[in-house]
Amino acid sequence: MEFVNIAGLTSELDPVLDILSECGCFHMEPASNHSSSDGGYGTLKEENPYVSILRLLGEISSAAKIKYEGADYSDIENTDMRKHERHLNALKNRLNGLIADRKAAEEKLKAYEKALEQVNHLTGLDIDMQKIFSCEYIKVRFGRLPADSYEKLPYYEDKLFYFTPFTQEEEYYWGFFFTPVSCAAETDEIFDSLYFERMRIADFVHGNTEDALTELSAMIDENRANFENYIQEINSVVEKEKPFLDKLFSLYKSQHDTFDLRRMVAVMEDKFHIIGFVPKSESERFMDLFDEMESVSVLMQPADANGKLQPPVKLKNNKFTQPFSMFVEMYGLPSYNGINPTAFVAVTYTLLFGIMFGDVGQGLVLAIAGALLWKFKKIALGPILTRVGISGAVFGLLYGSVFGYEELLDPVYESLGITFLPFKIMHNVAPILVAAIAIGVLIMLISIMINIVMGIKNKHYAEALFGNNGIAGLMFFGSILFGAVGTLLGMKIFSPVYVAVFIILPLIMMFLREPLANWVRGKKYEAEGGIVDFIASNFFEVFEFLLGYATNTLSFVRIGGFVLSHASMMLVVMALAEQVSAAAVPIVIVIGNIFVMGIEGLLVGIQTLRLEFYEIFSRFYSGDGRPFTPVKINYDENIE
């Protein structure tokens, strides 16, 4: 990155902001917070004039279900904004009227369809329904009664009501009951207790059942035609106006977002000041954009020129490692002077996943699935699946496993004269667990070495030299490992001198890491809480370091555990296949492999990521960097 200072006359501010929003490489910072210390600079506090027209476009988008797209608006002048607002208001009113008419037609259509459904249950009623409802001394209720409730009606023979069923379904009787007006309240309560569901016949239903059905069918056809006509008219209006609306949206969204950048500009009288960052690879192109603006000066400085601003970070990766930057960003970007761990993550994640998910067939299926997900859906996880799937297939060759068939590759290795392969997982449990710990130890040692290099580079001597992930920690951890391996091989490693120099001395260095770091810097150290507090706190911290070495090392046993788990699950699938008929074997094998790929793939992916974040990153990586976010017009942003 390079730190950029842009200064000029306020008369040139708008063209400058247009360049910044279009170049795609300028990360802007609030200049008023970091301009000259004399306090002469202020900020522009202006209301964005493009909010109202964008809000109007948003109302049209919401009403007509339109999604705007970026379009070339070079043939439209933003000086005609009043004219455009009048056009949009007229269009909004027209669309709202059509939408209201469509909604009314839809509601009528639903009412007629519901009435038709209700009247269909009253087949055989040869009386004008409106005459029934107009009775002065009798109340009538249409609806349906549960079949078991219908059986209970004889218990109410002494009550003044009569229920007449017309049609019967499996669980309901459709019909009506009538009762004197004076008994209506009591009868309603009785039928409520019997779970009677009342059906209200609409006022527009006339005549007997046959007449009503004929009339309702005609009304439904008429209103359906009206409803479809309104939809076609709305679609026609939208189709005609959409290209122009896209241009208006693109124009005023661009103007809105560019104008919004003014709040980050520092001004003093008739001058402006803008600061930010540009990648070094873009610096020459960026400078050339201002060649024709004589009153504007652009000054490039080193990224750390402004001590108050932490430079943003843009990760640079090759094609293989690029997809894994997603994991790094999930944890947090590195600081500007830190290390980009993406390559380390890419290698370790791919290897660890492949070791735990070793199967030729399943690995290739996973790789193909990842490639398809990326090609057709552009899912960021797709390229990662492709890489780890290939790794799983490679380790599957070593294990001799193809879709769970452990003996399938045996003849191939025999014909090639390779006697040490395939490596049978279930016959080598102890070596697998030992190898898992060895892999973990190697990764931890590499992580500690990275931390040492970065710590010395950034002058963090306390951690780089005397911390648990520094030279002292490397001496202690490496000596313990070397001694343990030597003892297993029959060598006498842990002599008094070895223990004193390579184990006790590093522990003392970790215990005194802060005073020693100050000594390296040439500064005097004073314990804040006194000597007792210093001894107590550092004793427990060193004890925590020791526990960390043990737990982190043992944590890598999960690599061997998942290798065995994957093989065991496929053994279960094969055992199930032996229990079914020959015709069902392919089905069991396919379903079993799909299940194992889904469950085991998910678990292995999560556990590998956990190892990356907790056992590896915790040793050398902080993830406290700021992302590089160049200013741009966001056409995907919702309009409020």
Given this model, what pLDDT does residue 2 score?
Answer: 95
Query: In terms of residue numbers, what domain contains 186?
Result: 127-207
Q: What's the rounded mean pLDDT across residues 197-221?
A: 77
| Pick from 615, 480, 512, 514: nearest CA to 556 | 615
* Under 8 Å between Cβ of 635 and 371: no
Q: What is the pLDDT of residues 334-356, one digit of tens each?
A: 988 888 999 999 999 999 999 99
Higher pLDDT, 206 or 465: 465
Q: What is the pLDDT of residues 424-443, one digit of tens each?
A: 888 888 888 899 999 999 99
The per-residue b/e assignment along 491-521, b for 16 or more CB within 10 angstroms, e otherwise, is eebbeeebeeebbeebbebbbbbebbbeeee
For the chain, the domain total comes to: 1
186 belongs to a structural domain: yes
CA angle 234, 237, 240 (to 5 degrees): 145
133 burial (CB, 10 Å; 0-12 / 13-18 / 19+) is: middle
Given this model, what pLDDT does residue 290 score?
Answer: 93
Higher pLDDT, 176 or 581: 581
Q: What is the pLDDT of residues 292-306, one digit of tens each?
A: 888 899 999 999 888
153 belongs to a structural domain: yes
Q: Is the pLDDT of residue 125 over 80?
A: no
- Residue 174: which CATH number? 3.30.70.2750
| Pick from 320, 398, 384: nearest CA to 353 | 384
218 belongs to a structural domain: no
135 belongs to a structural domain: yes
Q: What is the pLDDT of residues 186-207, one digit of tens each?
A: 999 999 999 998 877 766 666 6
* Under 8 Å between Cβ of 429 and 595: no
165 belongs to a structural domain: yes
Sheet holding 172-180, edge to edge: 162-168, 172-180, 138-146, 197-199
> CA-based Rg of the chain, rounded to a whole angstrom?
39
As a whole number of angstroms, the distance between CA 16 and CA 319 comes to 35
